[in-house]
A = this chain, B = another copy of it.
């Protein structure tokens, strides 16, 4: 019975490990080409191409199979290799995640192997980080802070030219140039930059707009830096909003409101806290400063996203901090990132990545909040 029981519990995960956080989490394997992971009673079996064999053997998977080995000497396709493995062990039923390819499930069923969808997350433990995982995120966050300092240095060194346009080292300072400097700093910290946002003025009103063109004095510049460490695969996430020169009164009010919302949310970030209560505290602080959400023909304005999200092997993972159920637990690593977005002015967002500890929360790598750059 023992044997049958362990056999029925086989789970299959599939995908390019570099984009499949669950496979990375379970094995530490991060290659870009598709692989299959079979989690069985006797350990984790990783099925990879012959080329990936070396790297796979250095992962935490107990057994590595190559397409050639499972094909009996000549390489077979990935799914066929997985099916050969299952048939050799007479496994008739597997569990797969909701996102496992449907066409592959059809093939498995056709081969007499029933598939069942795992309810909820495949690896719920991912939401509660170990000390090693927190250290990995802290490393990425340190890279983000270093890159932020480089950006702030460049803004300080820039001059205000005609029509308020910033100039640096003899040329217009654009979103593109500032982004390149940020990403070069991340590369020096062995991180990749992903999709760094440097959004000045009205373009910052779209929270995911990466920004382009000349930066100007007196306008908010949203710097959202989320590096992924090349070795560990863990992300960091940091946002600061800076202004060069003198901010107009309306922008000052926006900044003060977001800073208050950030403090309010941070103060409530601790184990056991309801995520909805944290999000509502941020909303209440913004309202108390006179900022309401409103619908416009081009879309909603105000505080138009959640207060935060988990950070780990995925940049957005559990738990979410929004108007939803759920409570924080020690070991969660989450962002706290309220913001305000108005099309005429732009965006203001302040974001830290924090670890929920036994008693409260710790900002993983503190970064200055000074926002006016002389």
Query: Smallest CB–CB gap between A184 and chain B, Å?
Result: 5
Among the listed stretches A2-10, A97-105, A359-367, which one makes contact with chain B, having 4 or more residues with CB under 8 Å of it? A97-105
Contacts of A300 in B (CB 8 A): 50, 68
A59 within 8 A of B: no
Query: Smallest CB–CB gap between A22 and chain B, Å?
Result: 14
- Interface size classification for chain A: 35 or more
A56-86 contact mask (Cβ, 8 Å, vs B): 1 or 0: 0000000000101000000000000000000
Cα A305 to Cα B52 in complex, Å, equals 11
Cα A53 to Cα B304 in complex, Å, equals 12
A124 within 8 A of B: no
Query: Smallest CB–CB gap between A304 and chain B, Å?
Result: 6
A133 within 8 A of B: no
Copies of this chain present: 2
Query: Smallest CB–CB gap between A230 and chain B, Å?
Result: 8
Q: Which residue of B lies closest to A195 (CB)?
A: B32
Query: Smallest CB–CB gap between A36 and chain B, Å?
Result: 13
- B101–A208 contact, CB under 8 A? no
> Can you give 21 A-B contacts (C-beta < 8 A)?
A18-B195, A19-B19, A31-B208, A32-B195, A33-B316, A50-B300, A51-B206, A51-B305, A54-B208, A55-B206, A66-B299, A68-B300, A98-B102, A98-B104, A99-B101, A100-B101, A102-B117, A180-B188, A183-B187, A187-B187, A192-B194
